[in-house]
Structures are given as C-alpha cells and as structure tokens.
Amino acid sequence: MEREFLPPKTKALVINSILAVLLILIILFLLVYASFIGEGWLAIVFIALGLLLLVPLFLTIYRVFTIITTNYRMTRDALEIKWGLRRELIPLREIEWVHPVSDFQTPLPIPYGKLRASFYDEIDINGLGKTLFVATKPEQMVLIKLSQAYVVLSPTDKESFTQAFNELSQMGSLEIPEAESENLKMLWQRVIEDKKAKNLLILTAVSLFVLIAMSVVIVAIDSPVVWVDMIPVPPTRLFLLALLGLLFTLLNTIFALFLYLQERTGRAIVYLILAWSVLTNLVLSFAMLSMVI
C-alpha cells in the first residue's frame, strides 16, 4: 500500500520564477549594455556586476527545481521525502506521531517568517531541537516527531496525510528498512565513483573553462568581432556566449544529477545529457573563433 502526497507549489513557483526572470533580464541588460559600450572601465564594471548576479540566479533556479521535485511518499514501511537533489527515507517505526501544526496552541517558529514562499531549512528550534523543513505553505504544515528530531512537511491535504500515517502505522511494517539520508555530497560521491560520469563531468568542466577563457583572451587582446548579423561589434559581446554556455552547463548538470538520484532512467540518458553540455560548449567555442576577424 502506497500513498503519495505533494505540497502546494503554485505560489512558490510563481514567486521564484518571477525572481529568476528578473535576474536573467538584469544580467542580460548589464552584459549587452557593456558589450555596446565597448572599451573602458565602465564596461568592466557592468560585466562584473552581471557575473556576480549569476550566483543568486543559480540559487533561485535551484529553488524552482527543488519546489518542482518535492514529494512525500508513504508506505507501510517508511516515509520517503524527496526535494531537489536530496532524499530522506524515514522508517515508519521511527515516527512517534504526526500532527498538523494548527493543532498546537503555540505557533511553530518558521524560519525567516511567513513571507517566504518556500521553506527548505534545517534549524534548531527552542523546545524542539533539530527540525528539518521541507515545506511550501505555512497553513498546510504538519509536524512529525522522530526519536531525536522533528520534520515539517506541507502536504496539500494535511488531514489526509495524518490519517494515512495513522492507518499505515496500525497495519505494521512488511519489512524493516534502514533510515537513509542522501544529500548533494553523498550524491556527488556516487557520481564520482562512476567512471563514465566522472570523465564526462571533467570534460564538461574543461570545455566550459575553455569557452570562458577564450572569451576573456579575445576581449583582453581587443580583437575585432563580427557578430551573427555580420556587423563588427566590440569583443565584450562574446561574454554573452560564455554566459549562455555557463547557464546551459549548470542547468544540464543539475538535471543529470537529479536523474542519477531518481534512478528512474538508464545511466545512458545521464551520460547523454552530460555529453550534450560538452558538445554545446565546443560549438560555442568554435563560434567564437569564427567571429574573430
């Protein structure tokens, strides 16, 4: 017997998606404006700001990815929680009780307040101790007590989630699974132990480095560049190609790691996705060379 629950995702996805789009537009504006300025310290400042904004953009995109992939699966043996590149398997025998947060008179301290659209944190709460949040909506939160920690989820139907736990826990376990916890570090170790995946990741990193280094060298020597419309442009325009390669590589790598974690597709698909990143970076590198006069 298996029950699957999903958290409310619409509000969190809309807010984080709008933020990601705004960051992309700002980055593109900074880089395009810098490429039209051409030489000078002002162009360097705009390019540097655009590159710095890649960090919050990457974190926002990963948050969108985390929200999309969040789900809770409950069986007679365990509660499995998946979000982003993380996974927790909690044997049902280790869960003492499950209650909606609204059942308690004392409000649950929510990290950084209720204004956030999603809550993916592990914090220490006075009176509770170590508490893991994998939730998107405060009104739907349920508190799960383990032997030495707490977990907060937000299934769309919290009453149904609580009822399912009570029913499944009364049936008893068919097996006795061990608790499992998989984070990005553990997943990365699994990937590194796979020689094909490791080699493709190395090739991906090398091809991306070549792409970025080539754009920096061309801009540094101030070599004239012919853009796709056959019009000479400042060499700083090549940073757009480097940015495109960087974003594509990051998104592709996250997607490949997610498929590796899920283990629902063959390894060949993961290898193909990583090889696609290498090919894309090489194509963009050759495009840069062809643009240089």
The rounded percent of the chain whose pLDDT value lies above 70 is 91
What is the pTM for the complete model shown?
A: 0.77
Q: What pLDDT does 265 receive?
A: 67
CB atoms within 10 A of CB 192: 11
pLDDT for residue 31 is more than 90: no
How confident is residue 38, by pLDDT bands cut at 50, 70 and 90?
low
CB atoms within 10 A of CB 213: 12
pLDDT digits (tens, 9 = 90+) for 118-174: 899 888 888 788 899 999 988 899 999 998 899 999 999 999 999 999 988 888 777
In the chain, what is the straight-line distance between the N-terminal and C-terminal CA atoms, in Å?
66
Q: Which position has the higher pLDDT, 121 or 181? A: 121
Distance CA 3, CA 9 (A): 19
- Residue 152: which of 182, 181, 112, 110 has the closest Cα? 110
Q: Residue 79 contacts by C-beta under 8 Å, 6 or more apart in sequence? A: 72, 73, 89, 90, 92, 95, 144, 165
Q: Residue 5 contacts by C-beta under 8 Å, 6 or more apart in sequence? A: 71, 72, 73, 74, 153, 155, 156, 157, 160, 161, 164
How confident is residue 194, by pLDDT bands cut at 50, 70 and 90?
confident
Q: Where are the domains of the chain?
A: 1-182, 183-293
Q: Averaged over 262-271, what is the pLDDT?
A: 76
